[in-house]
């Protein structure tokens, strides 16, 4: 991947894993070797990261110290707190504050977030799967992101 893409203009960082079990025993040793090798191969010395799965939250993750930035896949308000956007905002904020407390100098980027919808489905009460709920979901997440200057971006 690095040999192939090292000169591609859209590569801004290397992700060496998507949603690994970075909370399980042995993860730190395993990823330390991979991350160091990735850094060795890149002539431009771009940041290296791992895309974190929700089960490996700030209290359980074992590899956050190895990466240059924290990339999180999170679905508060969808897989967690479905139809409870106030609870989703609270839980998201709490988790982000923990990540920031552990790694105050690392930027956070959301590499996945979203709520599914049935195209054309509408709901006066903004029920899940409606287009209205999807809009509300994104607005709730963006409200939290915009409060925290260490959240540097998101990909829907």
Q: Which residues are catalytic?
A: 19, 112
Kindly tell me the burial class for residue 121, based on how many C-beta atoms sit within 10 Å of its own C-beta (0-12, 13-18, 19 or more).
Answer: middle
Locate 102 and state its tokens: 């552990």
- Residue 127: both structure tokens together: 């029920």
> Do the Cβ atoms of 35 and 22 come closer than 8 Å?
no
For the sheet with 108-112, list strands across it. 14-18, 48-52, 70-73, 108-112, 151-154
């Amino acid at each position: 991947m690095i040999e192939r893409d090292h000169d591609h203009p859209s590569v801004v960082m290397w992700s060496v894993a998507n949603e690994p079990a970075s909370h399980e025993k042995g993860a730190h040793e395993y990823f330390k070797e991979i991350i160091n090798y990735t850094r060795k191969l890149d002539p431009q010395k771009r940041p290296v990261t791992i895309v974190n799965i929700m089960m490996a939250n700030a209290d359980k993750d074992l590899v956050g110290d190895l990466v240059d930035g924290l990339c999180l896949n999170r679905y508060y308000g969808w897989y967690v707190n479905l139809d409870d956007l106030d609870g989703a905002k609270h839980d998201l904020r709490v988790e982000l504050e923990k990540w920031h407390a552990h790694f105050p100098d690392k930027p956070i980027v959301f590499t996945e977030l979203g709520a599914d919808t049935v195209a054309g489905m509408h709901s006066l009460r903004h029920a899940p799967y409606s287009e209205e709920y999807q809009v509300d979901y994104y607005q709730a997440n963006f409200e939290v992101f915009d409060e925290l200057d260490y959240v540097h971006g998101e990909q829907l």
